[in-house]
């Protein structure tokens, strides 16, 4: 697996002293994790495993000097405020909030407990922080992309893959945390002379969503960045294959499981950077003084087996730019 190195804004300065100063003798650190969905089954590269692995490498070991309280809303956004309040009442030292709805719920629940966010969001526009360089308040963290979601770049790659395409489907979850991607996608599509056909997955009914999508006869599909779509990626990939749609995804894991292409940051890298931020706060750093970190290196992954199944020939220009080609 060829993964190019990421260059981070804070670099080694974030990690170097952490192991030596990992914990105060005898102290038990309490970490809350707030998520909208129940995560996928754990694998070595899953977000939560990468987070706990990163913390362990920095001296924080669950069952020894670390307690982790997980709260999952099971897809019900309205439950997030209640779950956030539970973590506050349990007096967490830090709360990791994954994706915009969870970040908002945690921010609304406390102004004193440090919050380390993880997700694709414009934190200034959302009102989570004052600035990227000096967030202020009790929120800091790591974004999966500069801006919001790299929609423009991904649509460019999809258009290069399908140069004759005029209509692109956009698969969106039915939650407010992902709605910011739609206007971004419409703007990017217009610049490429593409008509964007937006279809929401309502109540987890993927069959109904794909029936509506296919009726619009798109040439290809853009799958929005969503924790739900990562968890349900095998279901989505199966339906994409059934309807023979070339599709662009967010994460390499989605392509490794049979998707055609992805462009984005590494889920493992983001999770480990979140672990580094949690460790810094455990060590006394103030979240308002820690700059929001953004990746500046991204993975472009292509699955040749999937392309062959679709009867597609990958343009050499795309193959040359790919960080990983799955054969």
Domains and CATH numbers, the chain: 12-144+265-289 (3.40.50.2300), 151-264+299-326 (3.40.50.2300)
Residue 244: Cβ-neighbour burial (10 angstroms; 0-12, 13-18, 19+): exposed
Report how far apart, in Å, the C-alpha atoms of 184 and of each of 189, 220, 272 are: 9, 18, 28
- As a whole number of angstroms, the distance between CA 133 and CA 250 comes to 26
Can you tell me which residue has the tokens 């509506």? 212
pLDDT at 25: 62
Residue 262 neighbours by CB distance under 10 Å: 25
pTM of the model: 0.83
- The stretches of 90-226 forming alpha helices (DSSP H) are 100-109, 151-161, 181-191, 206-215
Taking only Cα atoms into account, the Rg of the chain, rounded to an integer number of angstroms, comes to 20
What's the gap between Cα 245 and its chain centre? 23
Q: Each residue's pLDDT tens digit in the chain (327 positions)?
A: 333 333 344 443 444 444 445 555 679 999 999 998 866 655 555 677 889 999 999 999 999 999 999 999 987 889 999 999 999 999 999 999 998 899 999 999 999 999 999 988 889 988 999 999 999 999 999 998 765 568 889 999 999 999 999 999 999 988 655 667 888 889 999 999 999 999 999 888 999 999 999 999 999 999 998 888 888 999 999 999 999 999 999 888 899 999 999 999 888 888 999 999 999 999 999 999 999 998 878 899 999 999 999 999 999 999 999 999 998
- As a whole number of angstroms, the distance between CA 300 and CA 231 comes to 20
- On whether the CB atoms of residues 147 and 126 are closer than 8 A, the answer is no
């Amino acid at each position: 697996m060829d993964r190019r190195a990421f260059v981070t804004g804070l670099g080694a300065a974030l990690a170097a002293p952490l192991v030596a100063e990992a914990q105060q003798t005898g102290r038990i650190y309490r970490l809350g994790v707030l998520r909208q969905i129940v995560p996928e089954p754990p694998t070595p590269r899953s977000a939560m495993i990468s987070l706990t692995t990163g913390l362990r490498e920095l001296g924080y070991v669950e069952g020894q000097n670390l307690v982790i309280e997980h709260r999952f809303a099971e897809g019900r956004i309205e439950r997030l405020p209640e779950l956030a309040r539970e973590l506050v009442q349990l007096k967490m030292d830090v709360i990791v909030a994954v994706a915009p709805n969870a970040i908002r719920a945690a921010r609304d629940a406390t102004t004193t407990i440090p919050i380390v966010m993880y997700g694709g969001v414009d934190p200034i526009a959302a009102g989570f922080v004052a600035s990227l360089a000096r967030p202020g308040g009790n929120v800091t963290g790591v974004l999966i992309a500069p801006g919001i979601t790299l929609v423009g770049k991904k649509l460019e790659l999809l258009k290069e893959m399908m140069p004759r395409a005029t209509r692109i489907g956009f698969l969106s979850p039915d939650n407010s945390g992902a709605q910011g991607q739609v206007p971004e996608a419409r703007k990017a599509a217009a610049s490429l002379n593409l008509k964007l056909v937006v279809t929401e997955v309502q109540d987890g009914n993927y069959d109904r969503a794909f029936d509506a999508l296919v009726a619009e006869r798109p040439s290809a599909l853009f799958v929005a960045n969503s924790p739900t779509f990562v968890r349900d990626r095998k279901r989505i990939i199966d339906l994409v294959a059934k309807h023979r749609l070339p599709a662009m995804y967010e994460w390499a894991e989605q392509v490794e499981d049979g998707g055609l292409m992805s462009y984005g940051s590494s889920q493992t890298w983001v999770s480990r950077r979140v672990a580094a931020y949690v460790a810094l706060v455990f060590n006394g750093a103030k979240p308002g003084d820690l700059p929001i970190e953004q990746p500046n290196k991204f993975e472009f992954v292509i699955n040749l087996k999937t392309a062959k199944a679709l009867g597609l020939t990958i343009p050499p220009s795309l193959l040359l730019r790919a960080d990983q080609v799955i054969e």
